[in-house]
Amino acid sequence: MYKLSFNVGGTEENGFSGTINIFPNPFSTQTTLQTNIPLHNATLTVYNCYGQKIREEIINNQSTIINRGNLASGVYFYKVTGGKGQGAIEVIATGKLVITDK
């Protein structure tokens, strides 16, 4: 299992940068999204390989479990967006999730 980690760059206005980690990835039942970015009413959206939105949920924690649910094995893409408010900053991050059958 691999840990997917990437940096979220800030802008000159906010001087912010952060890290988002997804582990394990690939996964079979659940994985964890963990960040040092303050999230408040952020949206996690999962897309299939055709770009169709298949799941969306609100996240408010810097560590969130992503459950496989009824998703078939394969490659999926996710996007995290968050609005400003209560110490949170706007974040846009994208990445790949790989679901496998064991």
Q: Is 80 exposed, middle or buried (0-12, 13-18, 19+ CB in 10 A)?
A: buried
How far apart CA 45 and CA 19 sit, in angstroms, is 18
Q: What pTM value is reported for the model?
A: 0.78
Give the residue ranges of the chain where pLDDT is below 50.
1-6, 10-13
Single-letter amino acid, residue 84:
K
pLDDT tens column, 31-58: 999 988 877 788 999 999 999 999 999 9
2-99 sits in which CATH class?
A: mainly beta
